[in-house]
A = this chain, B = another copy of it.
Amino acid sequence: MTDRPAGSTSPKALNIAREVRRRIVEREWRQGERIPDEADLAIEFDAARATVNKALQLLADEGLLDRRRRAGTRVTVNPTRKATVSISIVREQVEQAGMAYSYRVVAQRRSPVPADIAARLALPEGKLLVHMRAVHYGDGRPFQFEDRWINTCSAPGLEGVDFWQLNANEWLVQNAPYLHAELAFTAANADRREARLLQTRQGQALLIMQRTTWNDLGPITTVRVACQPGHLISTDGGYARSSWPRGETRTPDTP
């Protein structure tokens, strides 16, 4: 439905990229081998060098090619492939799953940052930040529990906002675009509070997502999100801008 990258009618650069990728995957060009230079490929594919360049850059970004000036382009030996995780606001995630979204603030107050959070934010320990805890629900069932610290200094306009009413997540996304973000995943056993708020048992393994954002004024917010048990975070396709079937296209047979 989205599109059918029909192998020949899509943009030329993508066709070239696809063909080069094919040659690598089918081992016509093997790991570590040098491939023809841009000028030659331009002739072969009857394209301008800039177009070939674009295609090869794409594959280099994917991690399939190694390119160096003067040395030429070669197939990566131990490809470090990249996958991208898309972080959208929770409400959208929930609604996209066809559930009704709701949200409850569990606690909110200004308090001094503990050492670990301070370190993460590179702020002096004990500085007063807004600390809040909230639960996001889908169809009334707990979806995520977030424990967030907000640095009002980096989020002008935040003073007058009442997070008991407004969703901090969305307010920040819409009003405090960031320059830099860090994101990490880990797992942890649910403690008493998490178990209660996520309506599960203590000790249950939870996927933890930790996220910190900065702008030019400094750290904006750091949040630790505990996902409902069994929650899955999946990444986009194997190569950038690919438009692989959204998942359900279970190719039924494989000869």
Question: Which residues of B have CB within 8 Å of A233?
Answer: 184-186
Selected from B82, B205, B238, B254, the residue in CB contact (under 8 A) with A84 is B82
The CA-CA distance from A67 to B87 in the complex, in Å, is: 19
Q: Which of A220-239 contact B (CB under 8 A)?
A: 227, 229-235, 237-239
Is B215 touching A25 in the complex (CB atoms < 8 A)? yes
A8 on the B face (CB < 8 A): no
5 tightest A-B CB contacts, nearest first? A181-B238, A218-B254, A205-B205, A187-B187, A184-B234
> Known contacts being A78-B92, A79-B177, A122-B247, is A207 close to B186, with CB within 8 Å?
yes
Contact B232 A185 (CB under 8 A): yes
Q: Determine whether A214 belongs to the interface, using a CB cutoff of 8 Å to chain B.
A: yes
Which of A63, A178, A183, A247: most chain B CB closer than 10 A? A183
A135: interface (CB < 8 Å): no
Query: Which B residues are in CB contact (< 8 Å) with A85?
Result: 82-85, 235
**A77 in the interface (beta carbon within 8 A):** yes
What copy number does this chain have within its complex? 2
Q: Are B183 and A251 in contact (CB under 8 A)?
A: no
- Chain B residues in 8 Å Cβ range of A180: 237-239, 242, 244
Inter-chain CA distance A204–B24, complex, in Å, is 41
**A217 beta carbon closer than 8 Å to chain B:** yes
CB atoms of B234 and A122 under 8 A apart: no
User: Are B25 and A179 in contact (CB-based, < 8 A)?
Assistant: yes
Rounded to whole angstroms, the CA-CA distance of A210 and B63 in the bound complex is 20
Give the Cβ gap from A187 to chain B, nearest Cβ, in Å.
4
Are A235's CB and B189's CB within 8 A? no
Q: Is A2 an interface residue (CB 8 A)?
A: no
Residues of B within 8 A of A217 (CB): 251, 254
